[in-house]
Amino acid sequence: MSLVADRLRRPSRRVTTLAGVATATLRERLIEAATRLTTTDGWAKVTMGRLADEVGVSRQTVYNEIGTKSDLAAAMVLHELDRFLAGVTRAFDEHPDDLIAAIRDSARRVLEYAEDNALLHAVVSATHGADTELLPLLTTHSEYLLEGAKLVVAERVAAYDLDLAPDRLDASIDMVVRLVLSHVMQPSADPARTGDDIAWIAERVLR
């Protein structure tokens, strides 16, 4: 799923081998290696040189493909966001006639994925002082999370018949997305219960 990537950064295409099997591009391999290093050793230990060694390319190749370390952080955020939003897309596909059910299922899927996401756990730990070098993934690049998620949700919500002015609809989507992200960062209940609560709130705002 690359809805966010297609709009917010250069898309990461996969290469198909002669056997018809999709393989990761160099950019994807670099991002995945950076994520792995971040979750095991910390963001401060991630350098372009080390990333080059990890993937087996030159440091200049890493700069050419990714850019700066700040660009790498943004790419990692978008890469993880695409994975989170894959569940959102599936939820809306499975509930084409029931927006509230789609929101409930979307929230549950996102929160379930967040429970086992190593990068997210590392970033959340940073907010509690474990590794302050990770904070840019949430602060400097937090706009990618919020705007990317709102973009995808707004596109899917547009398919439903809602009697709301555009500005009210935008505000409602912003509220729901921020609410889900707040529970991603600081869960207060199991994903199913939280999904029900968010759907209850959304129903009263959207209908």
Question: Can you list the domains of the chain with their CATH numbers?
Answer: 3-206 (1.10.357.10)
pLDDT for residue 40: 86
pLDDT for residue 140: 60
In the predicted model, is pLDDT for residue 126 greater than 80?
no
Q: What percent of the chain has pLDDT over 90?
A: 52
pLDDT for residue 162: 92
Residue type, 54: E
List Cβ neighbours of 6 (8 Å cut-off, separation of 6 or more): none
Q: Lowest-confidence range among 16-30, 95-109, 138-152?
A: 16-30
pTM for this predicted structure: 0.76
Q: Lowest-confidence range among 7-16, 28-37, 151-160?
A: 7-16
List Cβ neighbours of 133 (8 Å cut-off, separation of 6 or more): 42, 43, 44, 126
Which ranges of the chain does DSSP label H, i.e. alpha helix?
Answer: 3-8, 26-41, 48-55, 59-66, 69-94, 99-115, 118-127, 142-157, 166-185, 191-206
Angle at 141 between CA 158 and CA 99, to 5 degrees: 20
Residue with tokens 């059910």: 101
At residue 121 the predicted structure's pLDDT band, cuts being 50, 70 and 90, is confident
pLDDT for residue 181: 86
Q: How far is CA 23 from CA 27, 97, 154, in A?
A: 11, 36, 31
What digits encode the pLDDT tens for the residues 42-83?
Answer: 888 899 999 999 999 999 999 999 999 888 988 888 888 888
Tokens coding 22:
């999709």
pLDDT for residue 125: 63
| C-alpha count within 13 angstroms, C-beta hemisphere, residue 79 | 25
pLDDT for residue 134: 61
What angle, 0 to 180 degrees and rounded to 10, lies between the N-to-C axes of helices 99-115 and 69-94?
A: 140
pLDDT for residue 15: 41
In the predicted model, is pLDDT for residue 4 greater than 60?
no
Quick one: which H or E segment has residue 15?
Answer: strand 15-16
Segment 54-63 long-range contacts (CB within 8 Å, at least 24 positions apart): 55/26, 55/29, 55/30, 57/26, 61/26, 62/30
pLDDT for residue 182: 86
Cα 45 to Cα 37: distance, rounded to the nearest angstrom: 8
